[in-house]
């Protein structure tokens, strides 16, 4: 087949214009060369493709069948050439982004809105996965770029920081009050400067409030229904390390695979949740949840883009990274 590609091109033009001379003009070759190509193709296929008439040439029945397939093939080639030209001239292209559901909702969407407005011809595809799976998809070549929480970056990949995020523990005011009442019926804890008693918001704003029964941050995290993301998650690993370093050993853990649900569950009083402050801003500002003031804050992390070294030269990816960098 491949050795006949030029002959098929000649066949296509002769059939399209129904003339050897017009095909010769179109292809900038001589009419005898056109006739020779058609003859070679007919010999190779062992069929007659054209009937010669006084007005030109007409396709045979077999020639019509072949032309229908050849016509579609050459039209697709032409479309491909046009698309490449548009990509070069207008920045039209495709961009596949891997990102977790939470990072997509709370960070990526804001960037995408402006980027798509400025680049409406770039097709954006979102593939939602955890950071670990996003990196795997990137290595398999199934996505162009990933938005991830900072972690160990594989060799031959680049990481571009986008912003800082802060892990915190939150709960509803009522949950802390009820936890205090339940636990202090069994024991009294004193001589600890980091405690909660009664209404947490009032406690933080009024240092003069004193109570006989007090719960430390460590007590709250150990005695509460502590809601965390599932294991084998970058965020969960980070929180597990913090709890171990602070010698905090929770008695009851509820594992959930979605951070937005963690926030919602905390708001309805199901327990204390480990969340990212930047993802819970609306809930914190409205007072639906409160942030527990830790004795030692969880080490901040970064969110950024990961992509193969050198791949930034692709037009769509380059435009996207430039836009996000300028937005910082």
Nearest CA among 121, 119, 148, 117 for reference residue 135: 148
Q: Mean per-residue pLDDT for 142-164?
A: 93
- Secondary structure of residue 292 in the 3-state scheme: coil
The answer to whether residue 11 scores a pLDDT higher than 50 is yes
- The domain tally of the chain equals 3
Last residue of a domain, one of 72, 89, 106: 89
State how far the Cα of 295 lies from the Cα of 288, in Å rounded to an integer.
23
Is the distance from CB of 106 to CB of 210 less than 8 angstroms? no
In terms of Cα–Cα distance, which of 267, 289, 244, 229 is closest to 103?
229
Residue 202 sits in the same domain as residue 238: yes
Indicate if the pLDDT at residue 188 is higher than 70.
no
Assess whether 115 and 187 both reside in one domain: no
Q: What is the pLDDT of residue 314?
A: 63
Could you give the CA distance from residue 312 to residue 84 in angstroms, rounded to a whole number? 18
User: In terms of domains, do 77 and 97 share one?
Assistant: no
**Per-residue pLDDT for 317 more than 80?**
yes
Name, in order, each residue with C-beta under 8 angstroms of 67's C-beta and a sequence gap of 6 or more: 11, 12, 15, 59
- Quick one: which H or E segment has residue 153? none
Q: How confident is the model at residue 226 (pLDDT cuts 50, 70, 90)?
A: very high
Segments forming the whole domain that contains residue 7: 2-89
> How many C-beta atoms lie closer than 10 Å to residue 34's C-beta?
23
Q: Would you place residue 185 in the very low, low, confident or very high pLDDT band (cuts 50, 70, 90)?
A: low
| 200 and 291 fall within a common domain | yes
pTM listed for this prediction: 0.65
Q: What is the mean pLDDT of the chain?
A: 86
The pLDDT, as a whole number, for residue 190 is 46
Are residue 191 and residue 272 in the same domain, yes or no? Answer: yes
Residues 220 and 288 in one domain: yes
Give yes or no: residues 84 and 49 share one domain.
yes
Residues 142 and 61 in one domain: no
Q: CATH number of the domain that 75 lies in? A: 1.10.10.10
Pair (14, 124) in one structural domain: no
Same-domain check for residues 150 and 175: no
Lowest mean pLDDT among 110-119, 159-168, 196-205, 285-294: 196-205
Q: How confident is the model at residue 284 (pLDDT cuts 50, 70, 90)?
A: very high
Q: Answer whether residue 184 shows pLDDT above 60.
A: yes
Residue 189, pLDDT above cutoff 60: no
pLDDT for the residue 293: 93
What's 178's domain CATH number? 3.40.190.10
Domain boundary among 65, 89, 113: 89
- Edge-to-edge, what's the strand order for the sheet holding 290-291? 252-256, 225-229, 272-276, 167-171, 290-291
pLDDT in tens, 80-114: 877 677 666 545 578 999 999 999 999 999 999 99
Give the closest residue to 114 by CA, choosing from 100, 127, 101, 124.
Answer: 124
Residue 92: its pLDDT value, please? 58
Q: Find the angle CA(133)-CA(134)-CA(140) to the nearest 5 degrees.
A: 90
> Is the pLDDT confidence value at 1 over 60?
no
> What percentage of residues in the chain have a pLDDT greater than 90?
63
- Is residue 187 predicted with pLDDT exceeding 80? no
Q: What is the pLDDT of residue 56?
A: 82
Indicate the burial class of 273 (C-beta count within 10 angstroms; 0-12, 13-18, 19 or more): buried
Is residue 127 located within the same domain as residue 191? no
Strands 167-171, 252-256: pairing is: unpaired
- Percent of the chain with pLDDT strictly greater than 70: 86
Judgement on whether residues 80 and 99 belong to the same structural domain of the protein: no
What number is the average pLDDT over the span 54-81?
A: 88
């Amino acid at each position: 087949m491949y050795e006949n590609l030029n002959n098929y091109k000649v066949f296509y033009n002769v059939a399209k214009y129904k003339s050897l001379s017009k095909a010769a003009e179109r292809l900038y070759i001589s009419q005898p060369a056109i006739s020779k190509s058609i003859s070679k193709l007919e010999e190779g296929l062992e069929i007659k493709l054209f009937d010669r008439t006084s007005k030109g040439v007409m396709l045979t029945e077999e020639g019509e069948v072949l032309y229908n397939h050849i016509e579609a093939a050459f039209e697709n080639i032409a479309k491909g050439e046009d698309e490449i030209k548009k990509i070069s001239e207008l920045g039209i292209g495709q961009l596949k982004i891997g990102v977790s559901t939470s990072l997509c909702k709370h960070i990526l969407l804001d960037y995408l809105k402006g980027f798509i407005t400025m680049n409406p011809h770039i097709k954006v595809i979102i593939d939602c996965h955890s950071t670990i799976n996003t990196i795997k998809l990137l290595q398999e070549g199934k996505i162009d770029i990933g938005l991830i929480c900072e972690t160990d970056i594989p060799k031959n990949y680049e990481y571009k920081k986008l912003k800082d995020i802060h892990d915190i523990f939150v709960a509803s005011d009522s949950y802390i009050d009820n936890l205090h009442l339940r636990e202090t019926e069994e024991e009294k804890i004193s001589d600890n400067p980091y405690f909660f008693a009664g209404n947490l918001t009032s406690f933080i704003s009024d240092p003069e409030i004193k109570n006989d029964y007090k719960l430390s941050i460590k007590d709250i995290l150990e005695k509460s229904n502590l809601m965390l993301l599932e294991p084998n998650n970058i965020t969960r690993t980070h929180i597990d390390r913090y709890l171990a370093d602070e010698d905090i050993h929770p008695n009851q853990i509820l594992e959930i695979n979605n951070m937005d649900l963690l926030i919602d569950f905390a708001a309805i009083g199901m327990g204390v949740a480990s969340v990212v402050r930047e993802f819970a801003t609306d809930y914190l500002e409205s007072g639906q949840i409160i942030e527990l003031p830790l004795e030692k804050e969880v080490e901040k992390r970064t969110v950024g883009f990961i992509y193969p070294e050198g791949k930034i030269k692709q037009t769509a990816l380059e435009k996207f990274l430039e836009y996000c960098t300028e937005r910082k």
